[in-house]
Amino acid sequence: MKTINLNINGYSVKVPEGTSVLDAAKKVNIEIPTLCYLDLHDIKMVNRTASCRVCLVEIEGRRNLAPSCSTEVMEGMVVKTNTLRAIKARRTMVELLLSDHPTDCLVCEKNTQCQLQLIAAELGVRKIKYKGAMSNYKKDSSSGALYRNLDKCIMCRRCETMCNEVQTCNIYSAVDRGFETVVSPAFGLPMIDTMCTFCGQCVAVCPTAALTQVNNVPKVWEVLSDPDRYVIVQTAPAIRVTLGEKFGMEPGTIVTGKMVAALRRIGFKKVFDTDFAADVTIVEEAHEFIDRLQNGGKLPILTSCCPSWVKFIEHQFPDLLDIPSTCKSPHIMFGTIAKTYLAEKMGIAPEKIVVVSVMPCIAKKYEISRPELEHEGDKNVDLVITTRELTDMIKEAGINFTELPDEDFDDPLGESTGASVIFGTTGGVIEATLRTTYEWLTKKPLKKVEFHDVRGLDGLKEATVRINDEDIKICVAHGLGNARKLLESIQSGKAHYHAIEIMACPGGCIDGGGQPYHFGDIEIVKKRMEAIYKEDKNKKIRKSHENPAVIALYEEYIGEIGGEKAHRLLHTHYTPREKI
């Protein structure tokens, strides 16, 4: 590749042809402020709309300032990033953005994490210089998951790039003209009436609070204060490796014990682990897989733990709805078990039990409203909060999180295995399934439980596992764009697998739309993944079917794995949806 020589602020720089001025500056440790720009190398997302104009620089021989994020280097180019003209121009661009932006920073969801707020401070903006017309759009919380406040949209179009290019859902586009231009679904439809999967990746990259989660914290505090309700909580596997970040801990710090202690101090009657239900999911899913494998059932079987990807296939590939596993997602299974088995065991009326889920994704908020996931007309799970919302509750309660002692989950729904922990990262569900499937088919103990070929951040991963005399072909996809490629190859008959795992979010639940913001720092995601596998390795039991609490559940209440009662309580069905 051709090398380009240029000069930036007096420094000689050599970079490959096609490099942006912004990236060239980074080579010599020169930081140029950015707002709309976002580069997520590992998932091949680059937002270079140059709409904010905050990264303007001077280029010798050019009359106009140039946006460094979208301007490619040229041989002999001389760039100046720190001239008074460039600094004033950047400040003016931010002042113009603020002229049409609400000034409710003190009560804003993104206060202290808003990138517009941070860059205004860095550029020395201390007053709203320009005053004019203010946007006043209708707010949208129709999905129960995603909250849209377009008054705070700065037209950076990061959400559009993420939704259309990475997730390939194509929900967002710029509509209208001039001052009225806004990023919106077609015809201004409410989100619940679109093909949105509520994965929350648009929320994860939004620099302001134009896109956030629907806040359920007030509802949780309300039920906790109701003496007639018995409020229990479950926590997803990925929460324990991300929550610590919100309290100044290093990314990847495992805070399981402190998390449990915090939830008890908040006021939950019992603190349980969704990992228990993940183990239940595996024994049901492995049974279903083996049944299809041995009895001519529909293959490949697709894991069904992720509600975003389930909604994606319902809209985009309705002709393939006979291949996903019929297992409910783990936290929904947990809710069913809590309001039947646990209620009976504890002698509490099911209608008095309130199940709260702490989840890494906002799609779980939408999922609990699906009518096919109700049990006898009642929701399995009553309320969902995200990692970020749990952080808010801990802080509101005045709990010193870092000083908490480690505490254990409650029994009997708190016991789990290493197989369930790895549900939190891409490849984890299928690896957990393989651990059980291998032993059930071979009748031999699996000595090496790690399946390294399904691990890592490659968008599509393939593996072949020899079980008895058959090669079982596996594929793992994370990110809905990769899922689309995989499903299209299955649809066309080009790809042939026995089992497939799909997670909607790049990296899986560790990078879900409800997790602490990292705005493109992929090293944080990698540390979270490492922590998940460390937690698995430290578990005494690492195979779901060996969980004694799961064994007791079937012996005492459910009966046969994959049996009539198991299907009635733990399985579901899918619904073809319109393409809107």
The residue from 98, 130, 160 where one domain ends is: 98
- Indicate whether 69 and 186 sit together in one domain: no
Domain presence at residue 188: yes
Domain boundary among 49, 78, 98: 98
Chain centroid offset of residue 495 CA? 27
**Inside any domain, residue 400:** yes
- State the Cα–Cα distance between residues 73 and 566, nearest whole angstrom: 62
Q: Determine, yes or no, domain membership for 51.
A: yes
Q: Are residues 189 and 250 in the same domain?
A: no
Does the CA dihedral 25-31-35-41 come out positive or negative? positive
For residue 206, give the CATH number of its domain.
Answer: 3.30.70.20
Whether 148 and 239 share a structural domain: no
Local structure of 203: helix, strand or coil: helix
Q: Are residues 377 and 479 in the same domain?
A: yes
Q: Is residue 124 part of a domain?
A: no
pLDDT in tens, the chain (580 residues): 899 999 999 999 999 999 999 999 999 999 999 999 988 877 667 888 889 999 999 999 999 999 999 999 999 999 999 999 999 999 999 999 999 999 999 999 999 999 999 999 999 999 888 887 888 999 999 999 999 999 999 999 999 999 999 999 999 998 888 888 889 998 889 999 999 999 999 999 999 999 999 999 999 999 999 999 999 999 999 999 999 999 999 999 999 999 999 999 999 999 999 999 999 999 999 999 999 999 999 999 999 999 999 999 999 999 999 999 999 999 999 999 999 999 999 999 999 999 999 999 999 999 999 999 988 888 999 999 999 999 999 999 999 999 999 999 999 999 999 999 999 999 999 999 999 999 999 999 998 999 999 999 999 999 999 999 999 999 999 999 999 999 999 999 999 999 999 999 999 999 999 999 998 888 999 999 999 999 999 999 999 999 999 999 999 999 999 999 999 999 999 999 987 6
Are 203 and 342 part of one and the same domain? no
The rounded distance, in Å, linking the Cα atoms of 370 and 192 is 12
- Identify whether residues 200 and 249 lie together within a single domain: no
Residues 509, 382, single domain; the answer is yes
Indicate if 328 and 420 belong to the same structural domain: yes
Please enumerate in sequence order all residues whose Cβ is within 8 A of that of 356, keeping only pairs 6 or more positions apart, or say none: 220, 223, 231, 232, 233, 234, 268, 381, 382, 383, 384, 385
User: Are the CB atoms for 529 and 510 separated by under 8 Å?
Assistant: yes
Clarify whether residues 143 and 243 are in a common domain: no
* pTM > 0.75: yes
Q: What distance in Å separates the CA atoms of residue 561 and residue 559, rounded to the nearest whole number?
A: 7
Among 193, 214, 235, where does a domain finish? 214
Q: What is the DSSP string of 376-397?
A: TTB-S--EEEEHHHHHHHHHHT
Residue from 256, 260, 257 nearest 242 by CA: 256
Residues 57, 70 within the same domain: yes
Per the structure, the count of domains in the chain is 3
Look up the CATH number of the domain holding residue 12: 3.10.20.740
Residue 120 covered by a domain: no
- For 85, other C-beta atoms within 10 Å of its C-beta total 12
Residues 307 and 361 in one domain: yes
Active site residue ranges: 285, 288, 305, 325, 364, 367, 372, 509
Is residue 321 a part of any domain in this protein?
yes
The answer to whether position 558 is within a domain reads yes
pLDDT, tens only, 502-533: 999 999 999 999 999 998 888 999 999 999 99
Residue 127 lies in a domain: no
Q: What is the pLDDT of residues 31-64, one digit of tens each?
A: 999 999 988 877 667 888 889 999 999 999 999 9
64: containing domain: 3-98
Q: Are residues 189 and 249 in the same domain?
A: no
Q: CB-based contacts of 60: which residues, under 8 Å, 6+ apart? A: 77, 78, 79, 80
Q: What is the CATH number of the domain that holds 247?
A: 3.40.50.1780
User: In 209-273, which residue ranges form alpha helices assigned H by DSSP?
Assistant: 217-224, 256-266
What separation in angstroms does the CA of 179 have from each of 91, 115, 176, 577? Answer: 20, 22, 9, 35
